[in-house]
């Protein structure tokens, strides 16, 4: 894919967090141990596309989002925003890109200041980036944006504090705070996971409307394949810091190729109390190697040996145990990292 087709591109992105050593190990151990939270992740986000990053808790999804926004420095790898390499810039040089790349956080109750009214929250964002020439223009911008995200009439919400709003209304305020900055790309980190089921669809439809109306690209981070299927153009499956499969949404759901993707799809519950729970195609007996980043700890300058999913895979071979599979494309936009495919 050509560089100009992408609004965002990552190349071999890594983030290793050091483990704290005990008192005695600090003296006797010559090497520090690390946890590979994000391990060699490469992908491209197209213009006006919604890319889903799906995986279980602790797989590194949120860390990847923070790396992309330069909120956390990477251990290695490169991040390109259009034709600019963000990882080569200093903090002051990154500031102009802050307005163009925004994040919607998981918890709307924690992401908004409880001591500020809705109007004050929006005003603060406007003043930081100098988006209004005067107070009247500032108020008009905030009023228009609130109504744009479904909070109508805006006057009923502008002077309220977060404590007097529902979860869905708070998340719409968070979306308004992001939208009024007119970003090119938004990372939605579990944006609907803390909301009532009845509210989730309306928020997801709001994101779809923003994509179509304003041409915004999204990275949708979630553990829920159901909502990801509803909103995403493509889905990337992440497991223990690595992307194990990526492709078009319907193809991923209908014809999953990686064993972990199949297990995630099999785990989706059916809204029928009479339906029997399926037996998941995965090993998870609570053994010492099953699904823990702590068990993937590595020494400095080393790389984890073997496939991350091998301890839980029903089809693992000796090659899987000894050699990490590469993410290989089939030439039609679908890539999978598995020796057994």
Domain that holds residue 56: 3-100+225-336
Which residues have a Cβ under 8 Å from the Cβ of 259 and sit 6 or more positions away? 281, 282, 309, 313, 314, 315, 338, 340
Domain-located, residue 112: no
Q: Which residue matches tokens 């983030």?
A: 15
What is the residue-averaged pLDDT of the chain?
A: 87
CATH, residue 41 = 3.40.50.300
Closest CA to 17 of 41, 34, 39: 34
Domain-located, residue 211: no
Which residue(s) pair with 41 in the sheet? Answer: 13
**What is the number of domains present in the chain?**
1
Distance from C-alpha of 8 to C-alpha of 53, rounded to nearest angstrom: 14
Distances (CA, A) of 270 to 228, 252, 265, 292: 16, 19, 11, 27
**Quick one: pLDDT at residue 235?**
97
Distance from C-alpha of 266 to C-alpha of 263, rounded to nearest angstrom: 5
Domain-located, residue 246: yes
pTM above 0.85, yes or no: yes
Domain-located, residue 32: yes
pLDDT digit string (tens) for 141-191? 999 999 999 999 999 999 999 999 998 999 999 999 999 999 999 999 998
pLDDT digit string (tens) for 121-139? 999 888 888 888 888 888 8
Domain-located, residue 323: yes
User: Where residue 63 falls among pLDDT bands split at 50, 70, 90?
Assistant: very high
The angle that helices 197-214 and 167-179 make with each other, rounded to 10 degrees, is: 10
Domain-located, residue 131: no
* Sign of the CA dihedral with 331 first, then 308, 77, and 236 last: positive
Residue 299 has pLDDT above 70, yes or no: no
Domain-located, residue 149: no
Domain-located, residue 42: yes
């Amino acid at each position: 894919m050509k560089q100009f087709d992408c609004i965002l591109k990552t190349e071999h992105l890594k983030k290793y967090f050091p483990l704290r050593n005990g008192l005695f190990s600090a003296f006797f151990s010559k090497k520090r141990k690390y946890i590979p939270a994000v391990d060699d992740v490469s992908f491209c986000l197209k213009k006006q596309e919604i890319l889903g990053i799906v995986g279980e808790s602790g797989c590194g999804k949120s860390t990847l989002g923070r790396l992309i926004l330069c909120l956390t420095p990477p251990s290695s790898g490169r991040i390109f925003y259009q034709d600019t390499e963000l990882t080569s810039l200093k903090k002051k040089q990154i500031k102009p890109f802050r307005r163009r790349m925004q994040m919607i956080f998981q918890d709307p109750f924690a992401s908004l200041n409880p001591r500020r009214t809705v109007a004050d929250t929006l005003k603060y964002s406007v003043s930081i980036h100098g988006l209004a020439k005067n107070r009247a223009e500032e108020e008009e911008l905030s009023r228009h944006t609130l109504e744009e995200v479904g909070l109508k009439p805006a006057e009923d919400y502008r002077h309220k504090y977060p404590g007097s709003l529902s979860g869905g209304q708070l998340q719409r305020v968070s979306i308004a705070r992001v939208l009024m900055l007119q970003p090119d790309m938004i990372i939605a980190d579990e944006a609907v996971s803390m909301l009532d089921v009845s509210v989730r669809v309306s928020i997801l439809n709001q994101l779809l409307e923003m994509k179509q109306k304003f041409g915004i690209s999204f990275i949708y981070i979630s553990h829920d394949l159901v909502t990801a299927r509803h909103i995403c153009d493509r889905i990337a499956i992440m497991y223990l810091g690595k992307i194990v499969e990526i492709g078009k949404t319907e193809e991923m759901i209908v014809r999953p190729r990686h064993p972990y993707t199949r297990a995630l799809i099999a785990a989706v519950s059916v809204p029928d109390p009479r339906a029997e729970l399926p037996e998941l195609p995965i090993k998870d007996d609570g053994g010492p190697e099953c699904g823990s980043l702590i068990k993937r700890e590595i020494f400095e300058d080393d790389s984890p040996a073997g496939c991350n999913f091998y301890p839980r895979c029903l089809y693992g071979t000796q090659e899987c145990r000894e050699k990490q599979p590469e993410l290989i494309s089939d030439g039609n936009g679908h890539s999978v990292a598995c020796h057994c495919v």
